[in-house]
């Protein structure tokens, strides 16, 4: 680990002030929250920071219901606490389920909501300093395109990067109506969840649209109201404590056999938490049948560009998406 200084922020304003100070000094700064990803990366040398600004003690841990029914979750609430929170379990069980499918009990006790949004890819070449990786070192090349491709992206990858986003929580959030609240030098900014993460293009080193000094302070989950009829299914190589090969978060609103609304988030598919809008559009207003679900995911996957090692993900999605929607149809 390269040397850094440690600073404990006393407020959001204090954290922003310290980051601005680092920038003025020509120093790099990093916010420390749960540390489950950052500390590992600092130690591996994947990430370097001159100044570590610890925001983990800030008072941003509350889970509250706003007057309009929106659930607001402080960015520093721990994953384990949010997954177990009665309000989240009743209103958005798919969010609890997705978080409980991720990591281990120890890591969920440490990891924060905001940090989960910013965790970085588990692409094996990103983790391996001895190999080229455009995400870790822009311009160095991509080892995964011609290399070990089992976990590569299916959709939206570029010539520069084929890595996928690793979060389970984010797949559930992609299927819901979520706003990410951030504080920066110019004040508060509200970002639609779908606009937070980027496809790689020619800048795979930039995971998100956040400005360098911006700090996530809260998540707001507004709906849809049928999120109680939602499920999360994760496919992985062992029964627990592994990243997804693919995962599905779905919510379904069926009335008289017709689909009133449907949401589908997919994990393990793209550089960002992926919302399957083509499949949703194909389903809305149509019949709630297994055949329709299978046709819809086939439509979505027409744009997939699998390689020889990750084509199995297509088959997994073709089976998992209809299976999850079938289960929701039966429960409706």
- Confirm or reject binding of residue 75 to other proteins (CB under 8 A): no
Pairing of strands 71-74, 63-65: antiparallel
Q: How many CB atoms lie within 10 A of CB 106?
A: 10
Q: Which parts of the chain fold into alpha helices (H)?
A: 12-24, 38-44, 79-84, 86-91, 93-100, 105-110, 113-117, 124-127, 169-174, 277-283, 290-300, 312-331
DSSP-based three-state secondary structure for 266: strand
- Confirm or reject binding of residue 96 to other proteins (CB under 8 A): yes
Only segment of 81-89, 152-160, 251-259, 286-294 that touches other proteins (CB under 8 A): 81-89
- Confirm or reject binding of residue 323 to other proteins (CB under 8 A): no
- Confirm or reject binding of residue 160 to other proteins (CB under 8 A): no
- Confirm or reject binding of residue 103 to other proteins (CB under 8 A): yes
From the CA atom positions of the chain, what is the Rg in Å?
20
Best CA proximity match to 78, nearest among 40, 108, 120, 55? 108
- Confirm or reject binding of residue 253 to other proteins (CB under 8 A): no
Number of residues this chain uses to bind other proteins (CB under 8 A): 42
- Whose tokens are 């297509």? That residue is 314
- Confirm or reject binding of residue 64 to other proteins (CB under 8 A): no
Q: How many CB atoms lie within 10 A of CB 130?
A: 6
Residue 87: CB minimum distance to other proteins, A:
9
Give the separation between CA 266 and CA 249, rounded to whole angstroms.
Answer: 6
- Confirm or reject binding of residue 224 to other proteins (CB under 8 A): no
Give the separation between CA 190 and CA 283, rounded to whole angstroms.
Answer: 30
Q: Which residues of 20-55 are buried (b: 16+ CB within 10 A; e: fewer)?
A: eebeeeeeebbbbbbbbbbeebbeeebbebebbbbb
The count of residues in the chain is 332
Residue 118: CB minimum distance to other proteins, A:
15
Residue 266: CB minimum distance to other proteins, A:
19
Structure tokens belonging to residue 165: 């986003």
Q: Which lies closer to other proteins via its Cβ, residue 84 or residue 294?
A: 84
Find the binding residues for other proteins in span 104-143 (CB under 8 A). Answer: 104-107, 109-110
Residue 11: CB minimum distance to other proteins, A:
12
Q: Which lies closer to other proteins via its Cβ, residue 282 or residue 324?
A: 324
Pairing of strands 258-267, 274-275: antiparallel
Only segment of 6-14, 115-123, 137-145, 212-220 that touches other proteins (CB under 8 A): 6-14
- Confirm or reject binding of residue 35 to other proteins (CB under 8 A): yes
Give the separation between CA 73 and CA 173, rounded to whole angstroms.
Answer: 12
Find the binding residues for other proteins in span 182-211 (CB under 8 A). Answer: none
Only segment of 88-96, 203-211, 216-224, 317-325 that touches other proteins (CB under 8 A): 88-96
- Confirm or reject binding of residue 240 to other proteins (CB under 8 A): yes
244 Cα distance to chain centroid: 12
Q: Which lies closer to other proteins via its Cβ, residue 102 or residue 200?
A: 102
Q: Which lies closer to other proteins via its Cβ, residue 39 or residue 222?
A: 39
- Confirm or reject binding of residue 52 to other proteins (CB under 8 A): yes
By CB under 8 A, name the one of 16, 22, 30, 32 that touches other proteins.
Answer: 32
User: Considering all CA atoms of the chain, what is the largest pairwise distance in Å, rounded to the nearest integer?
Assistant: 63
By CB under 8 A, name the one of 36, 112, 116, 152 that touches other proteins.
Answer: 36
Residues forming contacts to other proteins in the complex (CB under 8 A) are 1, 3-8, 10, 32, 35-36, 39-40, 42-43, 52, 54, 56-57, 80, 83-84, 86, 89-90, 93, 96-97, 100-101, 103-107, 109-110, 228, 231, 239-241
């Amino acid at each position: 680990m390269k040397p850094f200084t440690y600073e404990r922020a006393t407020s959001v304003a204090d954290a922003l002030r310290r980051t601005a100070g680092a920038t003025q000094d020509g120093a790099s700064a990093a916010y420390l929250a749960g540390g489950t990803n950052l500390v590992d990366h600092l130690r591996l040398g994947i990430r370097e920071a001159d100044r570590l600004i610890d925001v983990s003690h800030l008072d941003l841990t509350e889970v509250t219901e706003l007057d309009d029914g929106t659930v607001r979750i402080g960015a520093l609430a721990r994953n384990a606490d949010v997954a177990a929170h009665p309000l989240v379990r009743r209103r958005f069980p798919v969010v609890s389920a997705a978080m409980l499918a991720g990591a281990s009990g120890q890591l969920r006790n440490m990891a924060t909501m905001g940090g989960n949004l910013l965790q970085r890819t588990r692409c094996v070449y990103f983790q391996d300093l001895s190999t080229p990786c455009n995400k870790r070192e822009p311009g160095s090349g991509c080892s995964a395109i011609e290399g070990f491709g089992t976990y590569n992206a299916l959709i939206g990858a570029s010539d520069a990067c084929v890595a996928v986003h690793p979060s389970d929580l984010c797949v559930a959030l992609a299927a819901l109506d979520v706003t990410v609240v951030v504080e920066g030098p110019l004040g508060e900014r509200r970002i639609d969840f779908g606009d937070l993460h980027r496809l790689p293009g020619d800048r795979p080193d930039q995971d998100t649209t956040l400005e360098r000094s911006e700090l996530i302070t809260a998540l707001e989950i507004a709906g849809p109201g049928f999120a109680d009829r939602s499920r999360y299914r994760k496919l992985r190589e062992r029964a627990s404590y592994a990243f997804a090969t693919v995962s599905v978060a779905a919510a379904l609103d069926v009335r008289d056999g017709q689909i009133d609304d449907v949401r589908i988030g997919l994990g393990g598919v793209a550089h960002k938490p992926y919302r399957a809008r083509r499949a949703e559009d194909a389903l809305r207003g149509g019949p709630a049948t297994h055949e329709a679900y299978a046709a819809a995911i086939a439509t979505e996957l027409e744009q997939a560009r699998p390689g020889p090692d990750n084509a199995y993900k297509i088959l997994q999605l073709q089976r998992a998406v209809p299976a999850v929607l079938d289960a929701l149809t039966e429960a409706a």
